[in-house]
Amino acid sequence: MTAPNEISVSQLLRLVGTPDCPVIVDISIDPDFADDPYLIPGSFRHPHTDLPGLIGRLDGRRSVVTCQKGIKLSQGLVAWLRTEGLEAEYLSGGMYGWRDAKGTMRIPASAVPEPVGGSTLWVTRHRPKIDRIACPWLIRRFVDPDARFLFVSPSEVEGVADRYGATPFDIDGVFWSHRGDKCSFDTMLEEFQLQSEPLMRLAEVIRGADTNRHDLHSAAAGLLAISVGLSRQYRDDIAQLNAGMALYDALYRWARDGFDEGHDWPTGRT
């Protein structure tokens, strides 16, 4: 019988990438992690000995705790979090269970930039349209939910990156940018090893809209239209990003669950 504070791999998999996903905390001890240095998308590592620090970082949010096998470390910490009034579950089977299940993705820890002040910090050109909203969405939903983004003048991106320790993206000559006929979103999918069918489907739409190749997918022109509209609607780039998060949440659910659904009304017309 499933324990009341346990979540299965399949249950968590349905939540990863959505705004309903709980905070995922990996408390694997260092030797175990060194043997298999991969992360569940959206998770962060935290020592199991630092309960006060974890409580502060969770800030009241629901969490899923995982260790190597989902036994004593994660079950014990979840029980402790619950005594503090926090909603917490442990992942059945732990990291081994996630690794061995069909359809799961894992991010190489080495691909994630070092945090700045507790979370990753990214910088790009101001007045975003497509890639510069899609990439932050991908990062917050699959890499670092607390990631912060700086939007600055194009000529100042690299200088700001240097002064503040931020990771530059979607500008010429940096690692996280266009490669050949692919866009920055494609680069992030490749480097973070996020290769699921829904994300690859979404990438086609983003690439088509971002590189003006609407033949790649029928939805590309629509994404361009909505993106241009958003950019005209908001003067503040952070406000635009926050609005764009809802747009890409919807696009992801379409790519995952509804890509083959059509719509016609009234029905029965010849």
Q: How far is 11 from 268, CA to CA, in rounded Å?
A: 38
Question: Do 165 and 105 fall into the same domain?
Answer: no
Q: What one-character DSSP code corresponds to residue 115?
A: P
Q: By percentage, how much of the chain surpasses pLDDT 70?
A: 98
Domain-located, residue 77: yes
Question: Do 153 and 220 fall into the same domain?
Answer: yes
pLDDT at 37 over 80: yes
**For 209-214, what is the mean pLDDT?**
97
In the chain, the number of structural domains is 2
pLDDT given at position 269 = 66
Among residues 84, 45, 102, 42, which one has the least CA distance to residue 68?
45
39-53 per-position pLDDT tens digit: 999 999 999 999 999
**For 73-86, what is the mean pLDDT?**
97
pLDDT at 1 over 70: no
114-155 per-position pLDDT tens digit: 999 999 999 999 999 999 999 999 999 999 999 999 999 999
Residue 89 main-chain phi, psi, to 5 deg: -135, 155
Among residues 203, 204, 250, which one has the least CA distance to residue 226?
250
pLDDT at 230 over 70: yes
12-23 per-position pLDDT tens digit: 999 999 999 999
Residue 47 belongs to what domain range? 6-109
pLDDT given at position 87 = 98
pLDDT given at position 4 = 80
pLDDT given at position 270 = 60
Distances in Å between the Cα of 172 and the Cα atoms of 94, 125, 169, 177, 227 are 40, 11, 9, 7, 21
Question: Do 170 and 52 fall into the same domain?
Answer: no
**For 67-81, what is the mean pLDDT?**
97
Give strand pairing partners of 45.
26
Question: Do 140 and 88 fall into the same domain?
Answer: no
Question: Do 55 and 102 fall into the same domain?
Answer: yes
Q: How far is 1 from 245, CA to CA, in rounded Å?
A: 38
Question: Do 223 and 131 fall into the same domain?
Answer: yes
Q: How far is 101 from 71, CA to CA, in rounded Å?
A: 17
Mean pLDDT value across the chain: 96
- Taking the model in full, what pTM does it have? 0.96
Task: Output 265 or 62, whichever has higher pLDDT.
Answer: 62
Q: With beta carbons less than 8 A apart as the criterion, state whether 65 and 27 touch.
A: yes
